[in-house]
């Protein structure tokens, strides 16, 4: 069989032989447990670097912050750094980085990050993302000055624009994101209501346990 493969390869043009060899190597890599994706050496190194980055707390939020565009940023009107020429264009937004660090620190205190499950860590990452998105909505609302704005709904027969008051898209987005964050809070049982209900449930469980003990004692007597 091996001899037949050699004969077939010898009959193929050199370019086709190279392609066959690359294909065979790729198949071997895919079958390998250590390289199931069939990555090149550089690809494997890049994957290891990415895994090392994601394994850190900050790595969970690396995709969240905007890249600073200076005066071209859609939130430039509310930026506190631009007036002082402290907005580094081309780098991650310093304001959002500060927000992310502050919120990540707070959430990791509320939920012990080191002992948290993988699911809880993902939920915490989601919370940080939602918080940043809410801040962006607030910046847009501050720019509008009101959640209700005049929006064009059409034109009349004379070509004049028809406008009517409507809730701004920024406010609609704020409400949706805020609702999503509240749901995530509930999944992590982070609100006062969640703690109270959890405490009531614990108290009921203890009470039931004592009642069972007393009942068992009476039966034995």
Helices 94-110 and 118-144: crossing angle, nearest 10°? 140
Spatial distance between the Cα atoms of 149 and 140, rounded to a whole number of angstroms = 12
CA distances from 62 to 66, 121, 220 (A): 10, 14, 63
Query: Confidence class of residue 177 from pLDDT cuts 50, 70 and 90?
Result: very high
Spatial distance between the Cα atoms of 150 and 47, rounded to a whole number of angstroms = 50
Do residues 104 and 79 lie in contact, with contact meaning Cβ atoms separated by under 8 Å? no
34-90 pLDDT per residue, tens? 676 777 888 878 888 877 776 666 666 666 889 999 999 999 988 989 999 999 899
Spatial distance between the Cα atoms of 69 and 219, rounded to a whole number of angstroms = 77
Average per-residue pLDDT in the chain? 77
169 in the Ramachandran plot: left (φ > 0), alpha (ψ -120 to 50) or beta? alpha
Spatial distance between the Cα atoms of 6 and 17, rounded to a whole number of angstroms = 10
Q: What residues does each domain of the chain span?
A: 59-216
In the predicted structure, residue 149 carries a pLDDT above the cut 90: no
pTM: 0.64
State phi, psi for 20 to the nearest 5 degrees.
-60, -45
């Amino acid at each position: 069989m091996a001899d037949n493969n050699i004969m077939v390869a010898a009959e193929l043009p050199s370019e086709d032989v190279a392609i066959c060899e690359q294909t065979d190597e790729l198949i071997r890599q895919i079958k390998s447990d250590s390289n199931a994706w069939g990555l090149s050496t550089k690809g494997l190194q890049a994957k290891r670097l990415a895994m090392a980055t994601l394994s850190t707390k900050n790595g969970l939020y690396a995709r969240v912050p905007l890249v600073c565009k200076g005066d071209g940023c859609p939130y430039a009107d509310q930026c506190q750094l631009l007036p002082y020429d402290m907005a580094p264009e081309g780098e991650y937004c310093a304001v959002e980085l500060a927000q992310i660090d502050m919120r990540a620190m707070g959430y990791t205190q509320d939920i012990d990050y080191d002992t948290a499950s993988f699911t809880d860590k993902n939920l915490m990452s989601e919370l940080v993302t939602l918080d940043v998105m809410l801040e962006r909505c607030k910046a847009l609302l501050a720019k509008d000055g009101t959640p209700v704005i005049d929006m064009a709904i059409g034109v009349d027969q004379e070509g004049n624009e028809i406008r009517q008051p409507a809730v701004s898209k920024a406010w609609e987005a704020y409400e949706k994101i805020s609702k999503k964050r509240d749901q995530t809070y509930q999944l992590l049982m982070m609100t006062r209501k969640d703690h109270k209900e959890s405490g009531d449930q614990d108290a009921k469980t203890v009470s039931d346990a004592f009642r069972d003990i007393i009942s068992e004692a009476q039966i034995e007597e």
